[in-house]
Amino acid sequence: MEYGIVFPHDEIGSDPGAIKAFAQGAEALGATHMLIYDHVLGADADVHVPWTGPYDKDVAFHEPFTLFAFIAAVTDKIVMSTAVLILPQRQTALVAKQVAQLAILSEGRFRLGIGTGWNTVEYEALNEDFTNRGKRQEEQVDLMRKLWAEETVTYTGKWHTVTAAGLNPRPAATIPIWFGGGAPALLERCARLGDGWVPVMGPNDSAKAAIETIRAQREAAGLPWEGFGIQAQAQIRGGNPKRWHSHAERWKGLGGTHLAVVTQGAGNSNVDQHLAAAQAYFESVEP
C-alpha cells in the first residue's frame, strides 16, 4: 500500500513559500501522493439558516488545478490527486483542458478524483443543475476521455454537444479517473467507468461490502480488478502510532492500495508541525 498526505487546505495559509515547503517536505518524507479537497464557494451560514453543511465561507479551500500546477513545478515525484473534484458543477470541456494541461506539466503525475458534491449553494452560483448531477457525471467522464484521446471530437449527448473540435495539446495518455462516494449508483458507476475508488468511510463492514460490490460488477463486465485503486484516508487527530498502524492494516486487509494521512484538525499550526505529524504517522505504518 502506498502512503500519502492530504493538503491541509484550511491551515496552510496563502504564503507560496509555506506551500512550497509543505509539498517538498512531504515528498522528502516519502509521501507517494498528495490529495486535495475541492470547494469553489462557501455559503454564509448566517444567511443560509439553518446551515448543516460541514463547510462554510470561513473555511479556506485552494483551487485544485492552480495549486497542483504550482506543486508540480516544485516537486519531482509526488503524484497529485483531487479527492474529490465536484465535476458536475463545472463545464466538462474546460475541466478536460485543465486536467490535460496539468498532466502535461507534471509529466503524468496527476489523477482525477471526482464526486458529485452536496452544496446546492455552490451549484447555484456556478449555474449548474444539482438534481441531475450523478447522471451528468457519467456523460462528463465519457466526453473527457474522448477529448483526451482524439484529435477531433464530435459528440452528441443528453447534456453535451461538441461539433468537430478538439483539445490541443492533449496528454500523452488518458488521465486516471477515480470516483468518490458510497451510494449504490455511485459504486455501479465507479465499477463500470472508474480506475479507482475513493471511499468516504473507514475500513469497516460498509467499506468491505462496497469493495466486494465494485469487484463483482467489474468482473461481470469483463473489466480487470488488477490495477484498480482504492484511496483511503487516515486522521492524525485522536490517534496514536498503535491506532494508526491498526487502521492501516485493516485497509490493507480490505485491498486498499493508497492511504493518505490528514494532518489538519489536530492542532498543527505551521508547516513544520504538519510535516512532523506526517512523519510520525509514516513511521508507525510503514514496515
**What letters, b where the CB count within 10 A reaches 16 and e where it falls short, cover 101-128?**
bbbeebeebbbbbbbbbebebbbeebeb
CATH at 243: 3.20.20.30
Mean pLDDT, the chain, rounded, equals: 97
What is the predicted pLDDT for the residue at 210?
Answer: 98
Q: 73 φ, ψ to 5°?
A: -75, -20
177-180 and 161-165 strand pairing: unpaired
Q: Reply yes or no on whether the pLDDT at 260 is more than 80.
A: yes
Q: For the residues 18-38, what does the mean pLDDT come to?
A: 98
Residue 287: band (very low, low, confident or very high) from pLDDT cuts 50, 70, 90: confident
SS3 per residue for 34-94: EEECCCCCCCCCCCCCCCCCCCCCCCCCCCHHHHHHHHHHHCCCCEEEECCEEHHHCCHHH
What is the predicted pLDDT for the residue at 57?
Answer: 98
Cβ–Cβ under 8 Å, residues 51 and 45:
yes
Q: Reply yes or no on whether the pLDDT at 177 is more than 80.
A: yes
Q: Reply yes or no on whether the pLDDT at 278 is more than 80.
A: yes
Domain span including residue 184 = 2-285
Rounded to whole angstroms, the Cα distance separating 236 from 247 reads 11
Which tens digits make up the pLDDT trace of 55-98?
999 999 999 999 999 999 999 999 999 999 999 999 999 999 99
What is the predicted pLDDT for the residue at 142?
Answer: 98
Rounded to whole angstroms, the Cα distance separating 165 from 39 reads 29
What is the predicted pLDDT for the residue at 286?
Answer: 86
Residue 138: band (very low, low, confident or very high) from pLDDT cuts 50, 70, 90: very high
Q: Reply yes or no on whether the pLDDT at 263 is more than 90.
A: yes
What is the predicted pLDDT for the residue at 23?
Answer: 98
Q: For the residues 199-223, what does the mean pLDDT come to?
A: 97
Cβ–Cβ under 8 Å, residues 8 and 267:
no
Cα angle for residues 234, 104, 159 (degrees, 5° grid) = 80
Rg, the chain, Cα only: 19
pLDDT above 90 as % of the chain: 99
Category of 116 on φ-ψ map: left (φ > 0), alpha (ψ -120 to 50) or beta: alpha
Cell numbers 504538519: residue: 274
**Number of domains observed in the structure of the chain:** 1
Closest C-alpha to 114, from 61, 64, 59, 42: 64
Q: For the residues 138-149, what does the mean pLDDT come to?
A: 98
Return the SS3 of 175: coil
Q: For the residues 239-255, what does the mean pLDDT come to?
A: 98
What is the predicted pLDDT for the residue at 265?
Answer: 96
The CA–CA distances, whole Å, from 285 to 71, 181, 228, 254 equal: 25, 25, 22, 16
Q: For the residues 274-287, what does the mean pLDDT come to?
A: 95
